[in-house]
Amino acid sequence: MKIALITPPLGIKNQVNRPIGISYIKAILKQNGYDAKVYDFSTTDKLTALSILQKEKCDVVGITVFSDTRQESLRFAELLKKTDCKIVLGGHHPTFLYDQIMKNYKFVDFIVMGEGEITFLELIKTLSSEKNKFETIHGLVFRRNGEYFVNAPRNPIENIDTIPFPDYSDLDPSMYKILSSLRYKKNYGIITSRSCSYSCDYCAHRWFSGAWRARSIENTIREIENVYLGGITHIWIIDDSFTEDPARAIGIFEEIIKRNMKVSLAMNSRVNACNEDVLKVFKKAGGYRVDFGIESGSDKILESMNKRVNFDKAYKIRDICSRLGITVKWNFILGYPGETTETFVQTKNVIKKLKPDMLSVSILRVFPGTPLYNRLIKEKKVNESFWLGTNSGLHYFGDGSYEEVMRKYLRLMLIWAVQFRVRSFLCLINFVYGFASANPRTIVYHFLNTVRSVVIGRG
């Protein structure tokens, strides 16, 4: 049986991280005697990717589907179906919208819900046996005689040390680079834990992956050491909440130091789950960047988000990182339900006080499976039929208009650019260029007005 596991053509120019999910699936299939090949077509044109897979004559094709690029993925899957293969979808989007997909896209044979390693393995075993007893596979949606059936969900894997390391042997490491110290380096993204102990209103990870589970220090270090010995020295720890257990995080960094691995480390963390002890050892191990999500400067909005943030702790973490020479990226969301001029000003003031090295202000995007999405559906403020259309992300502007939220966004970025980091103009120009194709006159108008406001001190 020929099995392909793919990230479909997405029309992007470069990638930072390898396709981790399907590479884990390849590893567990290989462990059980099945051969599968991973293809990352995210930067490949559709015709080239289709030609490669047509020549392979695959029996089963597993496809990762993201909400923002679902249409590209589904159109490609429809083309692949003409080669008479079984189409299996996985990822957050099909996990939460399996009904919509199975009703509207008849070429989809299976959907793997949630964490996919065991479910996909059992599906391949069943297809190989030709008994077609799909109803016994937990976490699977399957089609039979024109109808589709939804099985009971699968419990997440409790001991994630039992999962083999992701198998990237089919991929070119030089494809995955990150800009660090003014030059591009080969990057390796690693997940050392799954899910998160928090339940933020806008996030689906807890509902996709269940409770937070961590790999052991020994298991994590073996993967990092394998990568380091293979010549890659930039490691990005992309867990949702890596420092959830500070002692474990420190243990991993201490092992990197003990084994004399000369690496550059970046990590995602949470203000409430980070401290000076973690940051000191992180720096000593090669750490140079931490990303934190604050999301809003308003206690009212944070409460609505179910996001627990202590601003005093954030300012203290900023001071520690500054003293240690660690770059910090602060992430914020604009346009949350309940956002007002007052809450916007509160966010602006927090950003001014943080004096960010790097700043990301995103307009709220709503994803299936989140408590926020479910609430907005119930309140009829968004419609599930949106996902059948061609627009990419579901941006939500709260009680404001597109123009109002965009104007506030530009003001935040320009305040930061003018007062703290001139280099941020590059990020701002890239963002404006992306939105200008949809509404150029509005963007240019508010861009120029915002520059004027900030420069003369009205920001």
Structure tokens at 269: 């963390």
Query: Which residues 6+ apart lie within 8 Å of 175 measured at CB?
Result: 14, 15, 40, 43
Decide if 420 contacts 355 (C-beta within 8 A).
yes
Strand 60-64 and strand 3-7: pairing? Answer: parallel
* Percentage of the residues of the chain whose pLDDT score is greater than 90: 68
Q: What is the mean pLDDT of the chain?
A: 87
**Tokens coding 45:** 């044109």
Which DSSP state fits 384? G
Mean pLDDT value of segment 294-318 = 94
3-state DSSP assignment of residue 168: coil
CB-CB contact of 288 with 262 (8 Å)? no
**DSSP for 171-202, written as a single string:** S-GGGBEEEETTEEEEEEEE--EES-S---TT
What are the boundaries of each domain within the chain?
A: 3-150, 183-391, 401-459
Q: Where is pLDDT greater, at 261 or 334?
A: 261
Amino acid at 180: S
User: Is pLDDT of 312 > 50?
Assistant: yes
Rounded to 5 degrees, φ, ψ at 267 are -150, 155
Q: How far is CA 431 from CA 179, 263, 278, 425, in A?
A: 18, 31, 33, 10
Percentage of the residues of the chain whose pLDDT score is greater than 70:
85
Q: Specify the DSSP class assigned to residue 21.
A: H
pTM (two decimals): 0.87
CATH 3.40.50.280 fits 3-150, yes or no: yes
Q: How many helices (H) and strands (E) does the chain have?
A: 17, 16
The yes or no reply on domain 183-391 and CATH 3.40.1130.10 is: no
Q: How far apart are CA 37 and CA 109, in angstroms?
A: 20
